[in-house]
Amino acid sequence: MKPVIEVKSLRKSYGSLEVVKGISLVIDSGEIFAILGPNGAGKTTTVEILEGFRAADAGEISVLNTDPAVKGSAGLAWRNRIGIVLQSTQDTAELTVREAISHFASYYSNPREVDEVIALVGLEEKADNRARTLSGGQRRRLDVALGIIGRPELLFLDEPTTGFDPEARRAFWVLIKKLRSEGTTILLTTHYLDEAEALADRVAVMNHGEILEVSTPALLGGRANSKATVTWRDAGVAKSEETDSPTEFVQRLSAQFGGEVPELGIHRPTLEDIYISMIGATHE
């Protein structure tokens, strides 16, 4: 099957500043793909090119078999197949949740049922409230509802959970996974490493306009092969040991203690540790 998104040697400059330096990407149908990177890494520019908001300076781009730079009715037919959730929007403030969603439904050829979408984003109780009365997390779920009402094959999510409390974030992750299980391909940008880890099938780490690595969250930066840290307590003193073979080490400890090891913990570097070391390495 042809990938949903295929990018080769994409370049974009603003004036003399090159913000995207020849990146290449392939995103397959039905996957959740996350782009990670600090502010100014070129994530938003890349995504906005893929969304058709900006033209690239150079490179080959195919999004759902279309060059997003196409305008006119061909562009509209393409837009009919994608959904976009932008960063912080505060529009439709005077409309109720239901009014806004059912109005946006009228733009698409084959929209989802309005009530189905309201239930999917968990806004049933707020359906008849004005958008301006929603909390930050509810407002963001309305944004997602507007992004998915058209039954998109491909959904762009730009920092979707910024400002969420932990509970709202988890509810949101459930929603995104539900969309994937229905076959939606999702391109996500986020600052939150735990979010990428919970959601993404693959992640790309971007910095200074370049992609440093594309991998699964578990394998990124050699994470699976890196040393594990074993921690325990021995006669009231906290101990720790870095090892390539934690299983063997713990067996030896267990023998030493004659069973249970006090306060035993085994830690691999978190995605955040790996990410910070990758981003930090490019600063030098």
> What is the contact surface with other proteins in residues (CB under 8 A)?
51-53, 73, 76-77, 79-80, 82, 84, 86-95, 99, 103-104, 106-110, 130, 146, 150
Nearer to other proteins, 48 or 210 (CB): 48
CA geometry: angle 238, 243, 244, nearest 5 deg:
160
CA geometry: angle 110, 63, 220, nearest 5 deg:
115
Nearer to other proteins, 118 or 146 (CB): 146
Nearer to other proteins, 150 or 209 (CB): 150
Q: How many Å apart are CA 131 and CA 113, to the nearest integer?
A: 19
Instruction: Provide the 3-class DSSP secondary structure of residue 40.
Output: coil
Q: How far is the CB of 264 from other proteins (least distance, A)?
A: 50
Q: How many Å apart are CA 140 and CA 134, to the nearest integer?
A: 9
Q: How many Å apart are CA 68 and CA 52, to the nearest integer?
A: 5
CB 179 within 8 A of CB 112: no
Instruction: Provide the 3-class DSSP secondary structure of residue 263.
Output: coil
Nearer to other proteins, 43 or 202 (CB): 43
Q: How far is the CB of 193 from other proteins (least distance, A)?
A: 26
Nearest to 31, CA basis, from 145, 187, 227, 195: 187
Q: How far is the CB of 73 from other proteins (least distance, A)?
A: 8
Q: How far is the CB of 157 from other proteins (least distance, A)?
A: 12
Nearer to other proteins, 83 or 217 (CB): 83
Q: How many Å apart are CA 222 and CA 199, to the nearest integer?
A: 19
Nearer to other proteins, 55 or 174 (CB): 55
Instruction: Provide the 3-class DSSP secondary structure of residue 76.
Output: helix
Handedness of CA 33, 213, 28, 104 (dihedral sign): positive
CB 266 within 8 A of CB 249: no
Residues 6+ apart with CB under 8 A from 103: 95
The DSSP code for 41 is: S
Nearer to other proteins, 96 or 215 (CB): 96
Enter the tokens of residue 171: 């509810």
| Residue in this structure with the two tokens 């061909």, named with its chain if needed | 74
